[in-house]
């Protein structure tokens, strides 16, 4: 999981021992490029994401009227992103320092746990918000009676509890170890047995991505079909109900957020799946070991983007959110200055 992402040194050693006759790809030049680009990119995402997510939280917290269930989920999503973004500069400095961890051991634990917590909390909050859209537009349920504010908060609490529970192994076993071969002290997952490594990667891959992503895809596909059907019916009747139109605008925001999450996280989980195959020796050779070392870092870079890009989606892509933000901040700032 995150330990193999941040420094897959054990795999590198194993790959050299498994097949010394295999010529390993020379990726030194590519690594130097990554050492230069990734930290700068991560620092930029951190600044944009911190400002943007705080803006989102203020907008939803100060809006007039009660929050809808989907907005409660999106607020919690912003909190999850902020938790991750506070630790992102440490991760960036680690890459800048070529995996030689320059901080204390506790920060090693908290940084890795924040990555795991953000992943689990974000994707299951998106499952919840996808269920919310599905119930609203496919089954057209009465929101106030069935999907209330109290229920939405309860779901968020369960999501946080579930995410923290799944992140405990990462927090416990992440540690700083010295690797004489590279003369660095790197932070890596130090599980009791190799079987733990495989089990943790499978849980992160399947429970943390495959299953919720499948649910999200099916729910949103059904919702899109329902919206398209209703749009055709409205055109046939030459009517356009204002309430449905507003709901469709809000749903576009959800769809965009979900799509960007899947696009940002899929590359990393693809390389993680290949790493599971490598750990179980389904695929072998030094070539795969070196490729996966580089590939997991390369795949995780767009994953960090997700925490910073959601507010950009809200502000610049969705007119519905811009209107809401304008209503909120017009209370404190003269309208002519907005």
Q: How would DSSP label each residue in 24-43? A: PP--HHHHHHHHHHHHHHHH
Q: Per residue of the chain (338 residues), give pLDDT as tens.
A: 544 444 443 333 333 344 444 566 677 788 888 889 999 999 999 999 999 999 999 888 888 778 888 889 989 999 999 999 998 999 899 999 988 888 888 888 888 888 889 989 999 998 998 888 888 777 765 544 456 788 899 999 999 999 999 999 988 888 888 888 778 888 888 888 888 888 888 999 999 999 999 999 898 888 888 877 777 777 777 655 544 555 556 567 677 878 888 889 899 899 989 888 888 888 877 778 778 888 888 888 888 888 888 888 877 766 777 788 888 777 776 655 55
Please report the pLDDT score of residue 193 as a whole number: 85
Q: Is residue 337 part of a domain?
A: no
pLDDT score of 156: 96
The answer to whether position 336 is within a domain reads no
Q: Is residue 153 part of a domain?
A: yes
Q: What are phi and psi of 178, to 5 degrees?
A: -90, 135
Q: Is residue 263 part of a domain?
A: yes
In a domain, 19, yes or no: no
Report the pLDDT value the prediction gives residue 262, as an integer from 0 to 100. Answer: 86
Largest CA distance in the chain: 74
Does residue 107 lie in a domain region? yes
Token pair 């507010």 in the structure block, residue: 311
Number of structural domains the chain divides into: 1
Looking at residue 317, which CATH number applies to its domain? 1.20.1070.10
- Which pLDDT score is estimated for 239? 53
What does the pLDDT read at residue 141?
54
pTM of the predicted protein model: 0.83
Look up residue 29 and give its two tokens. Answer: 């030049």
What local confidence, expressed as pLDDT, does residue 315 receive?
74
Question: Do the Cβ atoms of 301 and 38 come closer than 8 Å?
Answer: yes
- Rounded Cα gap, residues 212 and 206, in angstroms: 8
167 within domain boundaries: yes
pLDDT number for residue 10: 37
Q: Where are the beta strands (DSSP E) in 180-225?
A: 184-189
Q: Is residue 75 classed exposed, middle or buried when 0-12, 13-18 and 19+ CB atoms within 10 A define those classes?
A: buried
Report pLDDT for 63: 82
Which pLDDT belongs to residue 330?
Answer: 78
In a domain, 338, yes or no: no
CB count in 10 Å sphere of residue 140 = 11
Q: For residue 201, what are the domain limits?
A: 2-14+24-331
Q: 64 — alpha (psi -120 to 50), left (phi > 0) or beta? A: beta
């Amino acid at each position: 999981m995150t330990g193999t992402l941040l420094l897959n040194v054990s795999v590198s050693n194993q790959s050299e021992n498994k097949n010394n006759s295999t010529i390993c790809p020379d990726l030194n030049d590519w690594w130097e490029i990554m050492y230069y680009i990734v930290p700068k990119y991560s620092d930029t995402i951190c600044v944009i994401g911190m400002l943007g997510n705080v803006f989102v939280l203020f907008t939803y917290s100060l809006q007039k009227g009660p929050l809808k269930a989907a907005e409660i989920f999106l607020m919690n999503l912003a909190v999850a992103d902020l938790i991750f973004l506070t630790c992102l500069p440490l991760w960036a400095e680690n890459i800048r320092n070529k995996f030689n961890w320059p901080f204390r051991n506790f920060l090693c634990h908290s940084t890795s746990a924040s990555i795991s917590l953000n992943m689990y909390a974000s994707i299951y909050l998106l499952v919840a918000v996808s269920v919310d859209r599905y119930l609203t537009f496919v089954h057209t349920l009465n929101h106030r009676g069935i999907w209330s504010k109290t229920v939405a908060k309860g779901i968020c609490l369960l999501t946080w509890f579930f995410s923290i529970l799944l992140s405990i192994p990462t927090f416990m076993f992440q540690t700083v170890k010295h690797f004489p071969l590279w003369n660095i002290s790197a932070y890596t997952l130090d599980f009791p047995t190799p079987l733990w490594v495989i089990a943790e990667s499978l849980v992160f891959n399947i429970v943390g991505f495959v299953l919720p992503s499948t649910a999200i895809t099916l729910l949103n596909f059904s919702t899109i079909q329902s919206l398209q059907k209703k749009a055709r019916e409205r055109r046939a009747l030459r009517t356009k109900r204002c309430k449905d139109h507003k709901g469709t605008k809000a749903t576009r925001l959800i769809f965009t957020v979900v799509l960007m999450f899947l696009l940002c996280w899929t590359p990393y989980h693809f390389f993680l799946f290949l790493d599971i195959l490598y750990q179980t020796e389904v695929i072998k050779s030094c070539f795969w070991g070196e490729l996966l070392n580089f590939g997991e870092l390369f795949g995780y870079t767009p994953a960090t983007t997700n925490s910073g890009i959601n507010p950009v989606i809200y502000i610049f892509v969705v007119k519905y959110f811009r209107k809401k933000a304008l209503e909120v901040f017009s209370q404190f700032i003269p309208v002519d200055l907005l």
